[in-house]
A and B are shown apart, each in its own frame.
Chain A
Amino acid sequence: NAGVTQTPKFQVLKTGQSMTLQCAQDMNHEYMSWYRQDPGMGLRLIHYSVGAGITDQGEVPNGYNVSRSTTEDFPLRLLSAAPSQTSVYFCASSSNDSGNTIYFGEGSWLTVV
């Protein structure tokens, strides 16, 4: 059971570099989202999507872009990385059919130096 798969698991970036965190789910869930976890801040929603071709901003969207060209994939792009984006990133998916239970990936640890 793959569930929600995130890559890479660890990444170090220099300030100003760009990168994409990949996320794929094999549960045919319509909802997908990206969260970041920071000490003392819990999980904060970055962007989310309610279906292919539809995305929207969450609580902390600045500095990130997303797209949802297929149901399965929801990549998160950092166009110009900043040290403030050092965090642990979690991709998640959910569905009305799953009772709106959110399934998380294992996380991507990103350090921006």
Chain B
Amino acid sequence: DQQVKQNSPSLSVQEGRISILNCDYTNSMFDYFLWYKKYPAEGPTFLISISSIKDKNEDGRFTVFLNKSAKHLSLHIVPSQPGDSAVYFCAASHTGNQFYFGTGTSLTVIP
């Protein structure tokens, strides 16, 4: 059973606009969340993280929001750039080392 879900397989956004990628989880014990970005033929690379003691974490154009009551997190990219086009995975953990990943959302930023 998938404990971390990304229900949108793909998303297209115009350059300069906001991209919002969503992630839902079922395990209330999860207390640490990560977002990864993956280009074709490469390994995933770390983007941003958030622990359950926070509801928001920001790093440049990237902001992650956590809603614990809804078991939902989202990644906002603003402004979106063509180089952001990639597959984005969210991941969750409650032990700090065993992470469960979502199925990914393919983002296309249209110039």
Contacts and interface: CB of A to CB of B under 8 A. Distances in A.
Nearest to A96: B96
B98 A48 contact: yes
Contacts of A101: 34, 46, 49
Interface stretch (A12-20, A36-44, A65-73, A77-85): A36-44
Given A106-B43, A107-B42, A107-B43, A100 B100 contact: no
Contacts of A53: none
Interface string B23-38: 0000000001010100
Interface string A35-76: 100001111110010100000001100000000000000000
Give the interface size class of chain A: 20 to 34
Task: Among B6, B43, B45, B91, find the residue whose CB has the most chain A CB atoms closer than 10 A.
Answer: B43
A34 B77 CA distance: 29
Contacts of A102: 34, 36, 44, 46, 91, 99
A104 B43 contact: yes
Interface in B32-91: 32, 34, 36, 41-46, 49, 89, 91
A25 interface: no
Interface of B: 4, 6, 9, 32, 34, 36, 41-46, 49, 89, 91, 93, 96-104
Interface of A: 4, 31, 33, 35, 40-45, 48, 50, 58-59, 90, 94, 96, 99-107
